[in-house]
Structure 1
């Protein structure tokens, strides 16, 4: 397992079925960055507590609202038109790259926020995944369960 959150996120997102599950959960209001952070913490044996969940939400919310979401919205708005417009397609790809960089920075900030949290050697993957998705408006519990299975391989 990768020791840093970014590497863990890349390898986890590349697992079979994880990308569509994350996107399904994102469509219900869950943050993919928080999901990946929760999976990372759960796999590392960090105990899930309400204050820790609140700290992660505080780190994620402002950056997600002010930086990631506007880039994602712009990229989505340009999708159809960019298929027939080469210049717009090029700009859309640059926005997509910026969106990914914004998510990488968010994951780095989340990792930094957790540096002092000890690894207790217990797996709390379910607790972390449930905790980081608690605010999702219409959480897809089946997708969340499938994500947990994909991450653990069981």
Structure 2
């Protein structure tokens, strides 16, 4: 697969600390890593989505994410404790990456139909706030939002 979002995502995810911060957002705040990367890509393009557009996109992605991506990830993680399943875990990792690529294809298709607006000041932070669920520890959420904003714009 090749589109500007996928290429950007691969580049960003490979930077120091980005994967760790994205996975923390995923595990602690139920964030979809592909949407975090999409928000960063939009910002780099000088664009942003409003809250209604984010809800629309999340709704469109939800079936694939919940029925394919999440179960593959959960199974791969559970099998960490099963040494004999190391080869199968590796195959699951490949399938999970393919599922993530499909989700990025879906995001790209949605993006081509959507009308993103020009980004204002603090556009990435505002978009990330919409993608990280609120939690009891708001200071941790704020810390992670700041970290992601810096890392994804570096």
Q: How does 1:65-144 map to 2 (within 5 A)?
A: 65-82=66-83, 85=84, 88-118=85-115, 121-122=118-119, 124-133=123-132, 135=133, 137=135, 140-144=141-145
Paired residue for 2:46? Answer: 45
4+ residue segments displaced more than 3 Å = 116-123, 135-139
Give the alignment's TM-score, normalised by structure 2: 0.85
* Per-residue deviation, 1:44: 1.3
| Greater Cα offset, 99-108 or 44-53 | 44-53
* Per-residue deviation, 1:112: 0.9
Question: Greater helix share, 1 or 2?
Answer: 2
**Alignment coverage as a number of residue pairs:** 147
Give the alignment's TM-score, normalised by structure 1: 0.85
* Per-residue deviation, 1:59: 2.2
CA contact (8 A) 2:135 2:141 kept: no
Structure-1 separation of matches of 2:65 and 2:38: 14
Unmatched segments (≥5 aa) in structure 2: none
> CA RMSD for the aligned pairs?
2.1
CA contact (8 A) 2:18 2:148 kept: yes
